[in-house]
Structure 1
């Protein structure tokens, strides 16, 4: 009997310890979530502060630009009269130039005017000079064509070299891209492993703290068990707390047993806490027997309770019926 009691006591304390551990883990998760939310809010606030600083700097630059323009306008105000007079002179000169151009066009378009043309002077070369000049131009043309062929040859050679270099560069780009992808993948793996190690270390510290706590509880239980055993060996009754716990366990077992017996006695019944509704009625006429009779398809219904919004409506006044 004492062994059963000890086993039951140990199981009970282990169960209580599990419940406490689960509650503490839930509280720790909630605290971690709150920390993450606060960090996210801080980051968002820093980002908004940076944006506002950029806006303030941009507005300061605009204000400085406007001030500079205002200074320039104030400096230009004293010379406005001189500029207006210069503008009038330029407009007069422009109108005179237009009149002069129109007059010269009329003189040039008049075919009867002999003075509209002007001899440039000079001498025309003779045919031998022209032939000599043509031969000289042909020689220069041959030399230019030779240089053009050399340039085309160099261009083709350089094009082949650049094509080879371009192909080699593209291949190296692919190799560089693959190397960058591999480096990113390795960095991601290292980061994941580091996070997992940190999580495992945190979990290990929690487990160590829990183990220390459970060891302390186990030592307390062993001391309590030794005390109870010594009292039983001396013929003394166990402590009052132990007796109350034992009675509570017996009561729970009895309640569970009664509930299981009720469930086994009515396997096809459904346990419900809903309000029972009648499905039959007893006729009250003198020609029928007082036996329950089912309603059928026209069963009475239970109206729903009025909602909270009915307080906004005035109750109707019931008028008496006059016959």
Structure 2
């Protein structure tokens, strides 16, 4: 087949497609028409490019606005949380104040009732004194209670003063602080030729035996056997 189509003498190797070639004026007309269409396509492409740029700018602006909106939303959310926390704290404080006010009102009512009772009691005592009668037994008990409280307060004050003096004395540098039981360091002679004045024991102080420990309960006490003669 290659030889057939490559042979220039063979007339059947070519096939006429038919039709005719356009003339030069037709070609020029066709070229002008294509140029016009190309210009129209370029104009349309330019318009599309301008529209694309405009849409891109609008899109960028919308994105920037959205980002700003996110920041504003975040700040607004934080502010809302802070305000809610403050409202909660204020509510708790208000409830505490209301509870304290209720307690104060109850205490005021109680004190007013006590004041009325005291006034009534004072009027009763005054009327009995005016009539030459002794005061009620409740008054005597109250008076004894007051005296007892004053005595207890006086004893407590004396005990505190004594304790403060002992602590001050113990804080002195020459004082030796100890918890041991005090032992006598002197004795009074019973000799008729000497004066009854205390004398120090010196180095021959009497021996004080220690207390028996709790272990002695495990030992049996010895019993003395009778002596047989």
TM-score (norm 2): 0.48
Structure number, greater radius of gyration: 2
Greater RCO (Cα-Cα under 8 Å, separation 6 or more): 1
The structure in which a higher percent of residues are helix is 1
